[in-house]
Amino acid sequence: MYENATREIVPAVRSYLAKELIKRGLGEEKIASLLGVAQAAVSKYANDRYSEKVKKIERRIDKKIIDAYIDQIVLGKKEYANACICKICQSICAFDCTFSTTDEMIV
């Protein structure tokens, strides 16, 4: 289960977050820093160049969770990006995720 999260769910969440952050005017380098990925990965996410499984998972993301975190992520608070990824993984897989280090940020 954790392997699937790493290979499929986390990229799907990062992809969705990257697209939302681009809509809010952040550049690919800044987004890469916030999400802990290379700028090339953000470009890949922004242009939908990834597997069909990731695209399918991306469509299942609860947009309300993203909305709860996005404003803080835009302000450059990387820990909110991590908490958001964790919360979405939990909602999709229903497993305990220890990706976030700050429990109070999890909605």
pLDDT digits (tens, 9 = 90+) for 39-61: 999 999 989 887 788 788 888 88
96 pLDDT more than 60 = no
98 pLDDT more than 70 = no
The pLDDT value given to residue 51? 79
Q: How confident is the model at residue 4 (pLDDT cuts 50, 70, 90)?
A: low
28 pLDDT more than 60 = yes
| Share of residues in the chain with pLDDT > 90 (%) | 25
Q: How far apart are CA 77 and CA 94, in angstroms?
A: 25
For residue range 59-84, list pLDDT tens digits in order.
888 888 888 888 888 888 888 888 88
Q: How far apart are CA 27 and CA 31, in angstroms?
A: 6
The predicted model scores a pTM of 0.76
Tokens 């999260």 sit at which residue? 5
Tokens 């404003």 sit at which residue? 71
For 16-45, letters b (16+ CB in 10 Å) and e give bbbbbbeeeebebeebbbbbebeeebbebb
The alpha carbon dihedral of 25, 29, 34, 39 has a sign of positive
Mean pLDDT of all residues in the chain? 80
30 pLDDT more than 90 = yes
